[in-house]
Structure formats: C-alpha cells, structure tokens
Structure 1
Amino acid sequence: MSSSTPTNPAPITDDKTPLCIPFILNHLSAHLHSPDRDRPFLVGLNGVQGIGKTTLVRSLAAALESHAHPTLVLSIDDLYLRHADQRALAAANPDNALLQHRGQPGTHDLPLARRLFHDLLSRRPEQVRVPAYDKAAFGGQGDRAPESTWRSVRPGAVHIVILEGWCVGFRALPDDAAVASRRALPSRTLAAHPLPHLLFVNDRLREYDALTDLLDVFVHLDAEDTRYVYDWRREQEAALRAERGVGMSDEQVVRFVDGYYPAYELYSDALRNGVFPGRPGRQLRIVVGKDRKVRESHVQ
C-alpha cells in the first residue's frame, strides 16, 4: 500500500471498450440465432472499487446502443437490503463486523433481484420497475429509494442487460477451501475476522449463483495487484474533498476498504479461473496496471 495520496485521481483511459464490444457482439450474434433469442442478453461485469467499472459500463452501453442494441445497466448496489432489514441483520449478528454495514454478500435483497431478472427475461409485465438505492439516506447508512423514483423499462425493448458490481460473479467456496485459504494467507484483513463470520458470508454467497448462472457472458476487470484498491479509493476521496469539501480521510478509506478486502482475497482466484465451469469462451478477463490501463486480456 502506498502512503502517498495524489491530489487528483489518475484519468481512466477507455482502452477497454474496444476489447469488450467485439467479445459481446460475437456472443450476442449467436444468442440472436438461439432458442432464447427473444429474451435479453445478460452481461456480468466485475471489478474492484475504483478500477473504473462505472466509466466502462457507460461506455459499453453507449457503444452497444450505437449498434442498435438498447442496453439496460444495473448495479448490484441498487439491490441492497432496505435500511431496516440491514439493521435487523446487523443486530442478529452483532459480533460479525462484516454484516454491520451494507456491502458483503448477504446484504443484498436476493428475492428482489430474482423477481427483477424473472420479469426482464420473461418480458412480463409490460413495464418493469428497476430498483434504486439511496446511499446518502440515514446519514450515509443508505436505504432503498422510494419506488416512485424507480425507472420503468419495457423488457421487450431491451436487447442487453449489464449487471455490474464489485462482487458480481463471486461464487462461494467449499467450507474446507475457505478454511484453508484463511490459514494459508498471511493476511491482516482475513485475520481480523473469526472463521465463523467469514463462513457466514460464504454461505450467503451460495444464493447469488441464481443470478450468476443466468449470465450469458462475463467481463472481469482485474488488477495486477488487488491492493491498488486502497490507493484508487484514496484518490477518489481526495478528489471529493477538493471538489466538495467532503470525503473520507485516508484512515477512513483504509477501514472502509478493509471491510471488502477479505472477499477479494477469498474469491478473486476463482473469478480469474472462470465464472462458467464447462462454458469456455464466455469470459473476458482484462488486467490493468496501477494507471488503470490495459496490460493484458484473455478470453477464457
């Protein structure tokens, strides 16, 4: 982890869209000639915080629209539990630091997510409401936005759906593999959490397969070193402080990222090995350096 804090984040160069679009369009073409051609084509996209997911999905959506493929972008952040339900989860597990705030697998509303994707894929009803989450509610603890503010989309008009998020595509480990990983990694962040707390999140993650298994293709925006996330987040918060006078301090950033980092340590290797066992060629892995520029890419 670097101790220096740049005053402004490094610009994120979009050298990724030119890699992603041919990959997506190639599989979309096959999809449009398949028995499932009447349902939207689903793209999953994963990347650590600060790596440039938001910038990439906006560029991808614009590029796909230019190819006459209406595209809906969904963030897994918009599927967090309601504030009251998150507080109830925290209260039921008061010693588990991983569950005291939104973020970890287990803090998303999976029934809501399953209903949303069912409606999009079945194209019923005619208008589908897309959930939204207000991260500023309750003093930054967050809450689901009022349903009256949700977007309405017509599933029949959507060709492509992109689901993006820091944990999209993560798959639970067998419990013995999770135990072995924690023992094998000399990690400050993993060691900070008792094994039963890590296994609780791992068990909840199994429910996310219901979403992952729906995806047609997957884009993994990876980093040469996952620890870059600390500096990337510092950069973002420094820019916020300079622009708006608010933002986390460097110490607060470390605590914040620490809450997510155990999941990166446990699940990133499996992600790199491929999200779709037995379905080769459907995952694009793009590896970036500290400057967020592409170092290498692989279809796997």
Structure 2
Amino acid sequence: MPKIVDDKSDHCISFILEQLQAHRQETYESYVDPPPLFLGINGVQGVGKTTLVSAIATILLSPPHCLPTVVLSIDDLYLTHASQVLLASSNPLNPLVQHRGEPGTHDIALGLSLFSALKAHQRVKIPAYDKSAFSGQGDRTDERAWEEVNVPGNMAKIQVVIFEGWCVGFRAAGTEELRQKWEDAGRCQIGTLWKHRLVDLEFVNDRLREYDLLTDSLDALIHIDAENTQYVYDWRREQEAALRAGKGAGMTDEQVIKFVDGYYPAYELFSDALRRGVFEGKGKQLRIIVGKDRRANQIIKL
C-alpha cells in the first residue's frame, strides 16, 4: 500500500484536547454527568483518514490522556442490503443511488438513535458494516457481533465520540446554488455534475438535509482537505494497484474511475460549504489541507 506519513495527529490531538476542555466547561453547569465530546472527522477518500483516525483514537485512549473513546464510521450506517436494493429499484433512473455511497444510502434513524444513547452515556452497541457481503454490494453485520460500550461495571463511560467519514459535515446546497453549479459544469463539461440529470442531483441533495440532525450534534470537526479533489482518483488508483500487486486482486484503473465517479458529485456540490465551516461559533473546526503527497501544507482554524 502507498506509504502514508502521519504529520497530522499532533495537530489534531491538540485541537481535540482544547475542544474537550471547552466542551466540559460549557456543559458542566447543565449536566450532572456531561455528555461526551462529539467530534466529526471528514477526509477525502484515499487521503489516509483511516490511518489518522486510528492514530488519534490510540493516543486518546493511552496515557497520559486515558480518555475512553469510540470511533463510529458513517460507513457503518449504510442501509442494509435489502433497504439499499429497495432504494435502487425505487429510483431506477438515478445512478447515484444504485449502490452505497452518496447521501441517501445511510440509515439516519440508526445514527440518531446511536448518538442519543452515547450522549446519555447509555449502554449501546456500535453497528458494523461488511462491504464484502453480497459480492461486494455490502450489508450490515450481525448485531450480536457489534462492539458494546458504556457497559456498567466493565469500563469507563465514553468521553469522546469520533464520527468519521468522507461526507461527514456535508450540508445540502440551496436550490439555486445547486442548479447554478450544474449549469456551469454543463457549459465547461468539467467534473461529473454535467453527466447527471438535475433531478438526480436534487434527490441526493434533498436526502442530505436529513443528515443535518447528525451534523448539528457535533461539537467540533476536523476536515482533511486536498488542494485538488481530483487527487482522489490518483490516490485510489495507487491503493488498488498495491492491492493487485500484493494480493492479486483489486480494481482496474477503469473500475477505479467508475467507482470514484459515483462519489465525486458530492465533492463538487458540498465541499465549498464545508470549507467555509459548519458551525456558527468560531474555533470549532480545523481544516488541514494536504498536497498530492498527502502531507499537510496548510492548517486553518475556523
């Protein structure tokens, strides 16, 4: 696999500890048992988000911090296979929802239930998703195998919830903004928006409004951004080439392009708003901009 250098976790940990202190001060008078800090981490595909999230969680769990932390991926909130098949068959002309990925293919009710339980320090199981099930179409795993947290007597209550994913923090575009971006893309024929019907993009955009309930639950957010989101194609090609070399299986370059094309409209529609910041208050969002080598080139606090 391509080597990914961790030059971001130190910046992230400093930011998280600062946010945790502020969060505790803000909630101390309102709660006998303050809720955990809900931290969103958005990272473009292929940037090394999984490696970064793992490093952050390990640091928070270890001395000197020893903060009970749980990681929830938005991927683990994908619809069950049966529900995804129903969504696809109900919208047969919309290629954006024929497979998991775009907003609209996640179980928001499950996410909200989980967030509510974690906020109240209730005993709860963390869902998991198996992307290899049904020949790669994916399905939710057996609930009996899910990790359980906040178990009385077994462990300390969760203090930090990391909610990570490629579209975490995305907010829907305005109706006219979406139409304008689509029309501009059609004139230039750059990117992927112009390849889709406006009604299909509007469907995804409308579904994304439901995600606001999750985004509004976040206390802080870290955005690992790219100088050019087109890097996603190169990074994914690198990953799949390494898989083919190491395991003899992996997507071809043509398959990678088709795969990333299924996600890319969301980058074009929703990245600008994320870069401006998802919170009304200041100082709650960290934006780390990386170059093609995945190294941090600029760090901005919003």
TM-score above 0.5, yes or no: yes
Q: Which residue is equivalent to 1:44?
A: 40
How many residues are matched? 289
Q: Counterpart of 1:202 in 2: which secondary structure?
A: helix
Q: How does 1:84-233 map to 2 (within 5 A)?
A: 84-124=82-122, 127-154=123-150, 157-185=157-185, 186=188, 187-233=190-236
Displacement after TM superposition at 1:182 (Å): 1.1
Q: CA RMSD in A?
A: 1.1
Structure 1 residues without counterparts, runs of 5 or longer: 1-7
Q: Deviations over 1:98-136 (max 9, x none)?
A: 000000100000111110111110122xx2111000100
In 2: Cα distance, 1:279 partner to 1:272 partner: 15
Q: How far, CA to CA, are the matches of 2:21 and 2:107 in structure 1?
A: 32
How big is the shift at 1:33?
Answer: 2.2
TM alignment of 1:69-80, pairs within 5 A: 69-80=67-78
Distance, in Å, in 2 between the alignment partners of 1:183 and 1:56 is 37
Alpha-carbon distance, 1:48 to partner? 1.0
What secondary structure, in the 3-state scheme, does the structure 2 residue paired with 1:170 have? coil
Q: Secondary structure at the match of 2:100?
A: coil
Does residue 1:65 correspond to 2:61, yes or no?
Answer: yes
Residue 263 (structure 2) aligns with: 260
1:27 aligns to what? 19
- Displacement of 1:263 in angstroms is 0.5
Query: TM-score, normalised on structure 2?
Result: 0.93
| Alpha-carbon distance in 1 for matches of 2:175, 2:249 | 41
| Aligned residue in 2 for 1:3 | none
CA distance in 1, matches of 2:178, 2:191: 16
Q: Secondary structure at the match of 2:135?
A: helix
Code of the aligned partner of 2:14: P
Deviations 1:16-46 (A, max 9, x none): 0111111110111122223256211010000
- 1:245 equivalent to 2:254? Answer no
Quote the Cα distance in structure 1 between the aligned partners of 2:46 and 2:93: 29
Q: Which residue of 2 aligns with 1:284?
A: 286
Deviates more, 1:156-165 or 1:189-198: 156-165
Preserved CA contact (<8 Å) 2:121 2:157: no
TM-score, normalisation: structure 1: 0.94
